[in-house]
Amino acid sequence: MIPPPAVQRGLMALDRSLFQTTVSVVALRIPANLTMECKKAIGGDMLLEPKVRNVVDSDDDLEGASDKTKEFVKEKGVVPTKTELTVGYDHWTADEVLRAVLPEDIIDEAPSSFTTVGHIAHMNLKDEYLPYKHLIGQIIMDKNPNLRTVVNKTDSIDTTFRFFKMELLAGEDDMIADVRESGCRFKLDFSQVYWNSRLHTEHERLVKMFSATDAVCDVMAGIGPFAMPAAKKGCMVYANDLNPTSYKYMIENKSLNKIKDNLKIYNLDGREFIRKAVEDLEKSGYKRPPAVPVIPKGKKGAATPAAAPTPAPAAVVAAPETEHAFKTFDHYVMNLPGSAIEFLDAFRGLFKGREADIPEPKKQLPMIHCHCFSKSDKPEDDVRERVEAVMGGALEMDSVSLHWVRKVAPNKDMYCISFRLPAAIAFASDEKRKREPETETEAEPRSSGSSSHVALGSPEEDAVKRSKTE
């Protein structure tokens, strides 16, 4: 490999001309018709340098070459010669360039990694790299031609909607990104809403759990990474976010994805939305769509007995309605890991007075999927105990599962606890709700569902009739 030249370390501004370098290499002057035979014969002695041709048109010494190469040269009468290769800034990777220009004491973890959101590269630079942040940003953009903007997450967090503020390191100051995930298109303002491309696996995991006939309530929906694919799958989806910018882009993304009436969008406090969505779903006269019957196919190519008469086409009969008339959500998604557990108190007494309508609570009450953080070495116990403390009652263990999502810090992991709403909590008559102590000060950034700020209260159809109060 050709190493980068000894560029002045500690550069504050990028000078690409400093990277031009010329090296001398041994060459074999051969007839063109021997090219393939020569390449095969000299094998590992051939120059293998990224972005550099190892066979060039022609315009002495073979020291260090293998015996196989020397034998080939002697047998074929090939003439060794010397030539020069000149390479420049474009030849090396971002990591190689950064290691050449940053001070030696900080090059061991040269910051060449980033996450991509459309045309935006999002970096999270450690303090020691901040003096060189614009140099780093320019190198990252140069080495990734699909990028137009490079930003860095700052320490300043929006206290209401929990998204990190950004600073521009290089390129265009354009934070409106267009991304695709799970067969959906998402438009967003990366400086005003939360989006994390690393969560696409978690988005897909939950959506795969939903049946096309399910009703889904997404309490902290962001711009809709759960809501949009669930609606496109056929689910009836009610989606909410407190952040008015997230609300705005959910409405736009609904249109971009050509989703019709099975997605209702709200801009409410999380607790208020949990209760209002149940009321609105019932008022809408929602009935679960019948499951599409699956007609088994015979084996391909199987012969029909000659004596067997051809049966008349069978009528496709829709699955009958269940005996219970009351319908509510099958799933709740609560994807605000820094504080979602705190909102679980809203489920206490949510179906008080509806006991007669829900005679089979283990089937009819919804599943809740709540994201959270844990630093415990026993996360199953830690998360369950926190959930039970907030809800004021025990979970039914046969319905509880804990899924590890990802590591967010050396001693901090993100999880999703899934459980069926217990009847004792759903039908509770008291208003005693315990709050989880606020132990997370560095919550996963995204739009909050916090009750500290009450925003707009009607679905998107009423958006044009009222002004925002934020």
Q: Please list the residues that pair with 403 across neighbouring strands.
A: 416
What are the two backbone dihedrals, phi and then psi, of residue 233, each rounded to the nearest 5 degrees? Answer: -70, -20
DSSP string, 391-426: HTS---GGG-EEEEEEEEETTEEEEEEEEEPPHHHH
User: Measured in whole angstroms, how far is the alpha carbon of residue 227 from the centre of its chain?
Assistant: 14
Distance CA 352, CA 369 (A): 21
Q: For residue 162, what is the DSSP state?
A: -
Check whether 152 is labelled as a binding-site residue: no
Collapsing DSSP states into helix, strand and coil, what is residue 38? helix
Dig out the tokens for 109 from the structure. 């973890």
In this structure, the number of other CB atoms found within 10 A of the CB of residue 384 comes to: 18
Alpha carbons 221 and 449: distance in angstroms, whole number = 9
CA dihedral sign, ordered 424, 427, 433, 437? positive
Task: Give the C-alpha distances (Å, rounded to integers) separating 124 from 127, 130, 137, 139, 157.
Answer: 10, 10, 11, 15, 14
The answer to whether 335 is a known ligand-binding residue is yes
Q: Are strands 236-240 and 215-218 parallel, antiparallel or unpaired?
A: parallel
Please name the helix (run of DSSP H) or strand (run of DSSP E) that holds residue 87, with its range, or none.
strand 79-87
Tell how far CA 189 is from the center of its chain: 16
Cα angle for residues 173, 174, 176 (degrees, 5° grid): 155
Residue 77, Cβ neighbours under 10 Å: how many? 8
242 is in an annotated binding site: yes
Angle at 373 between CA 380 and CA 222, to 5 degrees: 125
d(CA 290, CA 238): 20
398 marked among binding-site residues? no
Beta bridge partners of 80: 28
Residues in the chain: 470
59 appears as a binding residue in the annotation = no
- d(C-alpha 431, C-alpha 435), whole Å: 12
Q: State yes or no: 203 annotated in a binding site.
A: yes
Sign of CA dihedral 333, 337, 338, 339: positive
Q: Encode 109-125 in three state secondary structure.
A: CCCCCCEEECCEEEECC
The residue type of 350 is L
Q: Which residues are annotated as a binding site for S-adenosyl-L-methionine?
A: 203, 241-242, 269-270, 335
Binding site per annotation, positions? 203, 241-242, 269-270, 335
